Amino acid sequence: MPRSRKAAPCILLPTDFQQPARRAFNYGLALARLLGLRLELLHVIKTPSDGPGLRPDTRYARALRTSALLELGRLARIAKEAGVQAEPLLDFGVPDECILRRMEQKPVDVLVTGTEGRTGWDRLRLGSTAHTLVRRANCPVLAVHGGVAGDVVRHTATVRFARMLLATDFSACADEALHAVSRLAALAGAGVRVVHVHSTEDGKPHMQQKMDRVIQALRDRGIEADGTCRPGNPVEAILEEASRWEADLVAVGTQGRRGLSRLLLGSVAEGVLRRAGCPVLVVRFAATLLNRENQSGRGRRS
């Protein structure tokens, strides 16, 4: 179904009400305030992808629906108290299919999702639902999850956008990530550290010239920025820089044709998603953020 041209853009936040989703809600709320957007809070009552599934008119389904609507209403009230308009939504079906269908129906600026759930939708460890959303969403995806030992970890109750790490291979998709980070950093007053990881020293001067252009583009927007080109394993190097920088957010572009982005949710992007202890912004297409670049007065710093 094509997107409605009359619908206002929003941040879509699917929730299964588990701990990762609750943390994602906090980030979605902060991002909504920052961008001046409303929240759509979507809960999907899961039914099997094959077979008769759960009929919405059964007593059990009605009980699930009532419970879900109460929790969605509670989240909407919290958002309202924070000055953010929130719309509770309920659906029946396969979570990733329902979420993607919603994104086709209305314009979405950012999808915010929790990962690494122990219960709920497929016990998300970047599993079927989270992996599908990051891979197929037609907008930037902010994946919010816990960390692992040895990687940078923020307190679960803390939501900050003060320090952003941008991983780049200087491809077109990396440029999309740059544009998204530029807007977020400008609104949040954040500093940005840019990292490019290469396998050898060959071509390092050429890469440094590209790095200098990226840094200058950020500084031209009044953003405090620096960067580094370094050899090594991309995942390990990005995580090391995130830890050293104490990043509040790591951004990475996907679907490029070379370097970091060529492995669409392969060893690099998926490795960062699995292990980074701070939220990861995965950018395939940033136009939703860029289209409202020149609108002033909407975003508020979190």
Asked whether the whole model's pTM tops 0.75, one would answer yes
Contact 165, 250 (CB under 8 A): yes
Compute, in degrees rounded to 10, the torsion defined by CA atoms 206, 201, 178, 136: 130
* Separation CA 242–CA 224 (nearest Å): 16
Complete domains list, the chain, with CATH = 10-144 (3.40.50.620), 163-290 (3.40.50.620)
Largest CA distance in the chain: 67
CA atoms within 13 A on the CB side of 184: 31
Q: For every one of its 302 residues, what pLDDT tens digit does the chain have, with 9 covering 90 and above?
A: 445 445 678 999 999 998 888 889 999 999 999 999 999 999 999 876 555 566 666 788 889 999 999 999 999 999 999 999 999 999 998 898 999 999 999 889 999 998 764 444 443 444 567 777 888 888 899 998 744 433 443 444 578 999 999 999 888 888 889 999 999 999 999 999 999 998 765 556 788 899 999 999 999 999 999 999 998 899 999 999 999 999 999 999 876 444 443 444 456 777 888 888 889 998 876 656 655 554 444 444 44
Burial of 256 (0-12, 13-18, 19+ CB in 10 A): buried
* Separation CA 283–CA 176 (nearest Å): 7
